[in-house]
Amino acid sequence: MDIRAINATQKYTSLKEATQPTQNPAKAENIAGKVVGDFASALKQSEELAVSSMTGSADPHALVQALAQTELAVETAVTVRNKVVAAYQEILRMPV
């Protein structure tokens, strides 16, 4: 047997582990949790500013900015939801 073939096989098996995808579900959960938390805090901040604006103790410009941020957050959430629904429907159309 050729020694070069054995070395190539050994190197291939040692590198095979390095090319395997790594899955870290904890990292994905942390990112999703952070996004949901940011979304909730943006909504809460906007609501608090709206309430204080009604009593006359908030700056109107801050209220407009908070409402714009809330609108962007809601549009982003709706877009992500639509993408997830479209992907799910695509999976359902796959033949079994």
**Tens digit of pLDDT for each residue in 37-72?**
888 888 888 888 888 888 888 788 888 888 888 899
- Report the predicted TM-score, pTM, of the whole model to 2 decimal places: 0.59
Q: Report which of 4, 43, 21, 58 is spatially closest to residue 35, judged by C-alpha positions.
A: 43
Instruction: Average the pLDDT over 10-25 and give the result.
Output: 63
Do 73 and 42 meet the contact criterion of CB atoms below 8 Å apart? yes
The one-letter code for the residue type at 69 is: Q
Q: Report which of 73, 88, 72 is spatially closest to residue 35, judged by C-alpha positions.
A: 73
Question: What are the respective helix, strand and coil percentages of the chain, to the nearest 5?
Answer: 80, 0, 20
pLDDT value at 15 more than 70: no
